[in-house]
Amino acid sequence: MADLKIAIKNPSLDEGCRGIIFPAGDDLVVKILKREERGDQLVDEYNIQKELYLGKVRVPEPKGIVDVFLEDYVFNKSLFLKRDQKGILMQRLYGDTLEEIYHNRDEKFGAYIADCREQVDLARSLGFRPGDLGIHNAILNQKDGKAYLTDFSEWENTR
């Protein structure tokens, strides 16, 4: 994956306090960091997501760390992004965050939360200390009807 370069020319799909998610085709997204707080933060987040995936925790399948090039439309909308940087390439999930589902008063919300808690418990059993566990960091995937955990920027591997 290291020699793969992805040109980002479309608006972001989502933005958090530390990262931005861009489409990278129909089945993939790429997450870039708004700024490097530590030089290895992107690698740490990728490794945590990969280990969670391999441990059967429901997370978007990580594909690798890739070079990202922000084309003018995206680059010119931000004063803080670098044009060339690294990003995490991963499976694209289609669906709503649990926060959106909560606000829509979906009657199945409680079941989705219980499902997420099982995933978090599995992650803890594998030696992970979860970070930001807000309902904005879980997506109900339309394809399989299951909740997936997202955003591992504040997670730690205690092993």
**Backbone torsion region of residue 8, taken as left when φ is above 0, otherwise alpha when ψ lies between -120 and 50, otherwise beta:** beta
Q: Given a cut of 70, is residue 146 above it in pLDDT?
A: yes
111-140: per-residue pLDDT in tens? 888 999 999 999 999 999 998 888 889 999
Give 96's DSSP letter.
E
Give 2's DSSP letter.
T
Q: Which residues contact 77 (CB under 8 A, 6 or more apart)?
A: none
**The two three-digit tokens of residue 14, written as one number:** 């989502």
CATH class label, 5-157: mainly alpha
Instruction: Give me the residue spans of the domains in the chain.
Output: 5-157
83-110: per-residue pLDDT in tens? 788 999 999 999 988 888 888 787 888 8
**Side-chain half-sphere CA neighbours of 8 within 13 A:** 30
33-66: per-residue pLDDT in tens? 887 655 688 999 999 999 999 999 999 999 999 9
- State residue 88's pLDDT score: 94
- State residue 76's pLDDT score: 65
